[in-house]
Amino acid sequence: MTNALIEIRRVPLPGKEFILAEGVKKSLEATGKSGIVTATSASSHLQTRDVTTAITGLTLSEITEIETAVSNSPEGQARLMALEELCSKVTYQVLVILAASENISLDKAQYINRRYMKAKRGQSQLLIEALLQWRDKFEKKPMVTRPLASDLDIVRLTTPIETLEELAETISTINTNPDHKKNRDAVSDLTVSGFQTNNRIIHRI
């Protein structure tokens, strides 16, 4: 049994973000599953703002069941297409959970920090191992995932964050703490690039 989650990223049309967000909240509730909805709080100016749904607490078998149910539900299809009309782009990913987050209360979190690491070609498994070792140094441990279908070299870290001050302190520790230099160097040697987005939680069930 493989634990996983569904992530649906929607880029709103100009002037449609808040209308889209309300529709996305209702769509998540209609699934009857647990999850969150986030909206971009901070990202590069080269990236687009988004409203993202994460449907959590699933296995790959349950995801198959959800996809089958949607394919057999005209009502569900109509609901999703109505949301798509408010977007310039919609992407759907299944993320396989390699390590769940630990010692982090999602109920208290106001933000979700998403980090995307691109490994050198053929080095993604070594990168995963290096990240898991580094992860052990933190009391609050991020979730480590990789897409079921996407760029073969992408590995992701996802961390619920209570405040922006907490996020800034975590980033400072990662980038400057001398006790983490060995881990920084190992990850740097295995990656081509990386970026992160910070996303405000606007709904959770």
The C-alpha atoms of residue 135 and residue 18 are separated, in whole angstroms, by 35
Interhelix angle for 17-31 vs 74-84, to 10°?
160
The C-alpha atoms of residue 38 and residue 21 are separated, in whole angstroms, by 9
Residues 93 and 147 sit within 8 Å (Cβ to Cβ): yes
Give residue 88's pLDDT: 98
Say yes or no: 25 and 89 in one domain: yes
Give residue 89's pLDDT: 97
Residues 79 and 30 sit within 8 Å (Cβ to Cβ): yes
Say yes or no: 111 and 186 in one domain: yes
Q: For residue 58, which phi and psi values (nearest 5 degrees)? A: -115, 160
Say yes or no: 57 and 72 in one domain: yes
Say yes or no: 52 and 132 in one domain: no
Domain end marker among 95, 120, 146 = 95
Range(s) of the domain holding residue 187: 102-196
Say yes or no: 68 and 25 in one domain: yes
Residues 187 and 134 sit within 8 Å (Cβ to Cβ): yes
Is residue 76 in some structural domain?
Answer: yes
Radius of gyration of the chain (CA): 17
pLDDT per residue as tens digits for the range 95-117: 999 999 999 989 999 999 999 99
Give residue 44's pLDDT: 83
Handedness of CA 127, 34, 43, 88 (dihedral sign): positive
Kindly state the tokens that stand for 148: 């079921």
Is residue 201 in some structural domain?
Answer: no
pLDDT per residue as tens digits for the range 175-188: 999 999 999 999 99
In this prediction, the residues of the chain whose per-residue pLDDT falls under 50 are none
Is residue 174 in some structural domain?
Answer: yes
Q: What's the number of domains the chain is made of?
A: 2
Say yes or no: 143 and 188 in one domain: yes
- Domain containing 22 — which CATH number? 3.30.70.100
Say yes or no: 35 and 107 in one domain: no
- The residue with tokens 């769509």 is 27
Helical (H) or strand (E) element with 96: strand 87-99
Is residue 31 in some structural domain?
Answer: yes
